[in-house]
């Protein structure tokens, strides 16, 4: 099977699974994102492990998983705050989880403790937090379309169509390098085609789901264009510095979880911030 068809089948399968979960339950999509968090963290720590870098892989995965579950628990259970031990523990749990990494490094007898701590915490920030924020976007999504949470589903659609448009058009017509030092295969033609696809998708969604104003759909698409592009380049920068082609091999045609979700990992915090400010103002 060619790489193109492997990529297509894998991509469509993942879209089907995520969309089915979005349509069924907030808890089901939370469970799938939890699995992606675990696998993504494992992939990240294996990717960066080298002679000079020994991240606390198992602790990083545990801490990232607990941070994810903590954010989901606080958001979906929506308990009213009171000064009892369970509520306070749930609120402050993420803080000691991060700093415990410093203490654990004392007992590992490694040559590069600063690097190990930094990479361990970076994995948690880079992977666990963005995936957990997707649940917050889902929980706050008051608009539904055909049973789907409209805004989060629209965000996924814009992101994936942007990626697909940029990849296909760039592969066929791309000539001018976008950022050759980091990613020689990415071109301005592909980026512009992806931008057009994303903006047209936002326009189409504004007609299908007018409850979410058109200007907000366009802002959402611009956030995906800007920060999603940076996410793609950042993942390429990581892989280039480590001299690897893919972050993993779990997804045929795509590589690893980080390869498939690189756009979302960087754009999700900015999209969440915009939606939060939009609902708060």
Q: Are the C-beta atoms of residues 135 and 26 closer than 8 Å to each other?
A: yes
pLDDT at res. 200: 96
Look at residue 72 and tell me whether its pLDDT is greater than 60: yes
The residue that leads in pLDDT, 114 or 97, is: 114
Residue boundaries of the structural domains of the chain: 3-280
pLDDT at position 90 is: 62
Average pLDDT over residues 138-143: 74
pLDDT at 204 over 90: yes
Instruction: Please give the pLDDT value at position 128.
Output: 95
Where does residue 81 fall: left (phi above 0), alpha (psi -120 to 50 degrees), or beta otherwise?
beta
pLDDT of res. 145: 84
Q: What is the mean pLDDT of residues 115-120?
A: 95
């Amino acid at each position: 099977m060619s790489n193109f068809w492997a990529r297509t089948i894998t991509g469509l399968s993942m879209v089907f699974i995520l969309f089915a979960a979005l349509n069924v339950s907030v808890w089901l999509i939370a469970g799938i994102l939890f699995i992606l968090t675990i696998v993504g963290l494992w992939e990240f720590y294996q990717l960066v492990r080298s002679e000079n870098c020994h991240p606390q892989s198992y602790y990083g995965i545990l801490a990232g998983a607990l941070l994810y579950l903590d954010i989901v628990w606080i958001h979906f259970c929506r308990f009213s705050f009171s000064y009892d031990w369970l509520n306070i523990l749930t609120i402050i749990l993420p803080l000691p989880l991060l700093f415990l990494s410093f203490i654990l490094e004392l007992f590992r007898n490694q040559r590069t403790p600063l690097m190990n701590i930094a990479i361990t915490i970076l994995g948690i920030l880079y992977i666990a937090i963005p995936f957990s924020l997707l649940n917050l976007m889902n929980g706050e999504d008051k608009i539904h379309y055909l049973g789907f949470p409209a805004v989060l589903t629209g965000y996924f659609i814009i992101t994936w169509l942007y990626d697909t448009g940029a990849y296909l058009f760039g592969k066929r017509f791309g000539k001018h390098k976008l950022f050759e030092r980091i990613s020689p295969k990415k071109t301005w033609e592909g980026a512009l085609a992806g931008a057009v696809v994303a903006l047209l998708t936002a326009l189409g969604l504004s007609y299908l789901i007018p409850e979410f104003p058109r200007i907000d759909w366009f802002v959402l698409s611009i956030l995906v264009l800007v920060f999603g592009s940076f996410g793609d380049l950042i993942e390429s920068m990581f892989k280039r510095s480590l001299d690897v082609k893919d972050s993993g091999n779990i997804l045929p045609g795509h590589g690893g979880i980080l390869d498939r979700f690189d756009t979302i990992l960087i754009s999700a915090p900015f999209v969440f911030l915009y939606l939060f400010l939009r609902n708060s103002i």
